[in-house]
């Protein structure tokens, strides 16, 4: 009985601690978001120009898809309308990655070089959280509106109205894809701890991200296996879009959850390993 009582006390304490920590980090993240929004609104012309640039870029991608599919009809079982749904999913994920993560990843190597990382190490918060969330690009985030419009347009042309559980599945798979993308990108920039002058390493993520612009089925069978297990490109857009299109993707949900958890854990462990070899900018 005493053992059960002590276990309940420990469980309550841990639950209370996790809750307080979560609230604390949410407040910190909200403060970061407010500061970045204020900074973005100070340069309104640049803010609007960024939105227009994103719209032009996505308009060109949409035109490319329309031209290609007018000629071939379908590619590996994907019709033009289904490709619009996939492109919309890609645009949303890309917006989240470049809007929430990009400004931090591009600054990481510079933070190692100029000593900004040292300052984060002294703060009473998780260092990986600080270096991953401090900056945001609201231009990039607003581009997700274009992605939502593409999904709605594609589904409308298909005459398909996904059920609520298909939307939930899409959202969960998209979240898993976002976590995997973050883990891989953060793993890449962490190498800057050793290669201090390797500023361009963050840009190397973009070619990997662009692979998700197309369904994984267009790649050779051997490459598809790679994109599901080692470099999980399929989980970024193909599987989430498939959830809205009625494809049998629910079976990959356990794998998606497992891979995203493992990827996040590995990126954290690698960052901790890198910090043990970090000599600081002043040393």
- Per residue in 226-245, pLDDT (tens digit) is 887 778 888 999 999 999 99
Containing domain of residue 167, as a range?
27-276
Taking the C-alpha atoms of residue 215 and residue 66, their distance in angstroms, rounded to an integer, is: 16
Q: Is the residue at 282 inside a domain?
A: no
User: Which residue(s) pair with 75 in the sheet?
Assistant: 78
Indicate the pLDDT class of residue 171, thresholds 50, 70 and 90.
very high
Q: Is the residue at 1 inside a domain?
A: no
Q: Is the residue at 261 inside a domain?
A: yes
Higher pLDDT residue, 35 or 58? 35
* CA distance readout (Å), 233 to 169, 174, 215, 260: 17, 12, 9, 12
The pTM of the full predicted model, rounded to 2 decimals, is: 0.85
Number of structural domains in the chain: 1
Taking the C-alpha atoms of residue 134 and residue 103, their distance in angstroms, rounded to an integer, is: 8
The predicted model gives 131-153 an average pLDDT of 88
Distance between alpha carbon 145 and the CA centroid of its chain, in Å? 16
- Helical ranges in the chain per DSSP H: 2-42, 44-72, 80-96, 102-114, 116-121, 127-133, 138-142, 144-158, 164-190, 205-210, 221-228, 238-245, 253-276
DSSP conformation class of 199 = G
Provide the pLDDT for residue 141.
Answer: 85
Most confident by average pLDDT, 39-48, 61-70, 220-229, 249-258: 249-258
Q: Are 177 and 227 a contacting pair, CB within 8 Å? A: no
Q: Is the residue at 63 inside a domain?
A: yes
Q: Is the residue at 127 inside a domain?
A: yes
Q: Is the residue at 6 inside a domain?
A: no
Indicate the pLDDT class of residue 213, thresholds 50, 70 and 90.
confident
Q: Is the residue at 19 inside a domain?
A: no
Q: Is the residue at 254 inside a domain?
A: yes
């Amino acid at each position: 009985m005493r053992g059960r009582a002590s276990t309940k006390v420990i469980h309550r304490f841990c639950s209370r601690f996790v809750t307080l920590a979560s609230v604390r980090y949410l407040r910190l993240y909200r403060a970061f978001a407010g500061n970045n929004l204020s900074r973005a609104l100070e340069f309104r012309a640049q803010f609007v120009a960024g939105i227009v640039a994103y719209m032009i870029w996505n308009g060109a991608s949409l035109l490319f898809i329309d031209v290609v599919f007018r000629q071939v009809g379908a590619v590996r079982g994907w019709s033009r309308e289904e490709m619009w749904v996939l492109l919309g999913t890609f645009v949303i994920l890309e917006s989240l990655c470049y809007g929430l993560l990009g400004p931090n990843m591009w600054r990481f190597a510079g933070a190692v070089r100029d000593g900004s990382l040292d300052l984060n190490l002294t703060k009473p918060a998780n260092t990986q959280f600080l270096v991953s969330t401090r900056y945001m690009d609201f231009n990039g985030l607003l581009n997700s509106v274009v992605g939502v419009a593409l999904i709605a347009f594609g589904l409308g042309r298909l005459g398909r109205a996904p059920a609520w559980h298909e939307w939930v599945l899409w959202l969960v798979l998209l979240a898993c894809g976002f976590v995997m993308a973050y883990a891989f990108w953060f793993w890449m920039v962490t190498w800057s701890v050793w290669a201090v002058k390797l500023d361009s390493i963050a840009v190397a993520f973009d070619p990997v991200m662009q692979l998700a612009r197309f369904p994984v089925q267009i790649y050779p069978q051997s490459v598809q296996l790679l994109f599901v297990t080692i470099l999980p490109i399929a989980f970024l857009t193909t599987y989430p879009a498939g959830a809205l299109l009625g494809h049998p993707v629910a079976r990959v949900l356990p794998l998606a959850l497992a891979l995203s958890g493992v990827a996040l854990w590995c990126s954290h462990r690698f960052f901790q390993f890198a910090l043990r070899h970090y000599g600081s900018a002043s040393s």
